[in-house]
Amino acid sequence: MATYNINVNGQSKEVNVESDTPLLWVLRDSLGMVGTKYGCGISQCGACTVHIDGKAARSCSTPISSLDGKKITTIEGLSADGSHPVQQAWIEHDVPQCGYCQAGQIMSAAALIDSNKNPSDGDIAEAMNGNICRCGTYTRIKAAVKTAAKNA
């Protein structure tokens, strides 16, 4: 076990875990932040997506030991009141069904819009490619990303 100081949603957090502990389990088990979901555990589904230094990353395969000096943003830190343009567009386009993948989908979309204010259909497909929605709301997801980009 080792002690790690990490920056999560703008706050310094200290955790005592094994060096290979995935960020997902640090967030959920050590910090009680359950917005980031466990999906597959092998970085394939996107449910665990967070931002690390502003880029979308899979927390299930990111060891805590790799995060020294990096800024982590989770769904809880995207906006305090749900006012982020992606969150608003998700509501406008009635994207969620079961909702399980939504935190990861939203975090991937937000990272895309932060880096590309006018994403093409191809840009959206590439950025969201790995975020699986078992309910199949992909058409609404794409529409929401386009609306969020316009409103960002």
Span 16-54, pLDDT tens digits: 999 999 999 999 999 999 999 999 999 999 999 999 999
68/92 same-domain check: no
31/72 same-domain check: yes
12/58 same-domain check: yes
Domain end call among 51, 77, 103: 77
pLDDT in tens, 100-113: 999 999 999 999 99
100/57 same-domain check: no
60/112 same-domain check: no
9/37 same-domain check: yes
CATH number at residue 101: 1.10.150.120
Per-residue b/e over 138-152, b at no fewer than 16 CB within 10 Å?
Answer: bebbbbbbbbbbeee
70/103 same-domain check: no
Structurally, how many domains does the chain consist of? 2
11/33 same-domain check: yes
Domain end call among 46, 77, 108: 77
46/24 same-domain check: yes
pLDDT in tens, 46-98: 999 999 999 999 999 999 999 999 999 999 999 989 999 999 999 999 999 99
Print the domain residue range for 90: 85-151
Residue 150: its pLDDT value, please?
Answer: 97
Place of tokens 């967030």: 27
Query: Cα–Cα distances in Å, from 8 out to 1, 11, 48, 110, 124?
Result: 20, 5, 15, 17, 26
Residue 26: its pLDDT value, please?
Answer: 98
Strand partners, 52: 55, 72
Predicted TM-score of the model (pTM): 0.96
Residue 37: its pLDDT value, please?
Answer: 97
67/130 same-domain check: no
- Output DSSP code: residue 140: H
Place of tokens 């058409």: 139
